Amino acid sequence: MPRKTLKRQITHRDINFEELMDLRIDYAFKLVLAGKNTRHLINLLNAIFSNKNIPLIVADLTIENTFLERRSKEEKLSVLDIRATLNDGMKILIEMHRYDVEDIKYKNLHSWAKVYGESLGAGQAYSEQSPVIIIAFVEGTINSGGSEKIHRCYRIMEKDEHSEYLNNFEMHYINMKAFIKEVNGSNPQTVKPDLANWLTIITMHDIKDKSRLTKLYNEQEELAMLINEVALKSKNKAYRQAYEQRQNDITNHYARIAKYEREAIEAGQALIKANDEINKANKETAKAKTEAAKANKEAAKANKEAAKANEETAKAKNEAAKSKKESAEAKNIINKKDEELERLNSQIAELNKQLNP
């Protein structure tokens, strides 16, 4: 839409995009989109639904309390960024979530269940329950190992036929990091222009080519009005102070997460190292046991051979003793024979002497 004259005469030359509040900070996102003027929020919602060819056109809505009622003191308190109700009763829950991307899936499901459960009045049929739609702006993919798709839309479907169960459940996830990567990498645009324009404003601080912002400001009246509102609120001292406090909280939260991740990595590395050392020690122990078993086997063999040698030695000694005994007996016999021979010789000599006087 061509640019018209705005109520506040601000041109792009008056705006330093780097100094504007970052709409990815939930405080700024709510400040700009969840105020009395719902025009910007309606335009954003229509851009999101149009991007998925969903035949839903938002004409009017009411901003609701973002605190979800607790049924008991023990129940976890749930707080949304934006909660809106359309004229037909449909509920729309919006989250701007920059960290713990994996956790947001479970929070969204919990929030959807609470809001859906409280939307039915006494006497109403269950089929009269109004649909509840979740929209989450995240930095990263919510599907582990999935592609970096910018806009995902989930519904309850039959697994094989992909037929819809009912339209009361719908979740949209918009990956701002994937959009920044696509825009800054000059990749083909994968979302429709209206949503791309909105995401360009939301992620303006990470858009390298700032001329894209200037072009939007000059050519798109609705977005120019949005940028003007962000600029005016950014210059408000009270808003700015609250924004910077929230920004610091998020930065500190990121720092804590980074610290925990580093500590977890270090602990994991230490555990891996300890396991490696344990495995090494176990291998060395196993090797020592194998060598000890081998030594014991060799020792047993040596003992067996020594026992056999001792047995043979004892046998040899016994045979030697037996031979010695037999030799001594033979010697005694020889001596006796010698004595007998000597006695006979003496008798013969005596007879010869008598025969030859």
Distance, CA of 181 to CA of 179 (rounded, Å): 5
183-239 pLDDT, tens digit per residue, is 998 778 889 999 999 999 999 999 999 999 999 999 999 999 999 999 999 999 999
Distance, CA of 214 to CA of 234 (rounded, Å): 18
Mean pLDDT, the chain, whole residue set = 87
Q: Mean pLDDT across the stretch 155-182?
A: 92
Band (94; pLDDT cuts 50, 70, 90):
very high
Give residue 334's pLDDT. Answer: 86
29-78 pLDDT, tens digit per residue, is 999 999 888 999 999 999 999 999 999 999 999 999 888 777 777 777 77
Give residue 98's pLDDT. Answer: 78
Is residue 230 a contact partner of residue 20, using CB atoms and an 8 Å limit?
A: yes
Give residue 13's pLDDT. Answer: 59
Question: Model's pTM, two decimal places?
Answer: 0.71
Band (5; pLDDT cuts 50, 70, 90):
very low
Give residue 146's pLDDT. Answer: 64
- Angstrom CA distances, 119 to 45, 79, 95, 103, 112, stand at 21, 17, 20, 25, 11
Q: What is the residue whose two structure tokens read 């037999």?
A: 326
Selection from 97-101, 115-119, 195-199, 249-253 with the highest mean pLDDT: 195-199
Q: What is the residue extent of each domain of the chain?
A: 12-235
271-298 pLDDT, tens digit per residue, is 898 898 899 999 999 999 999 999 999 8
Residue 227, CB-side half-sphere exposure with 13 Å CA sphere:
33
Is residue 103 a contact partner of residue 144, using CB atoms and an 8 Å limit?
A: no
- Nearest CA to 48 out of 84, 13, 77, 80 is that of 84
Coil, strand, or helix at residue 270? helix
Is residue 136 a contact partner of residue 102, using CB atoms and an 8 Å limit?
A: no
- 153 versus 76: which is more confidently predicted? 153
Report the 10 Å Cβ neighbour count for 336: 10
Selection from 35-39, 92-96, 328-332 with the highest mean pLDDT: 92-96
Give residue 1's pLDDT. Answer: 45
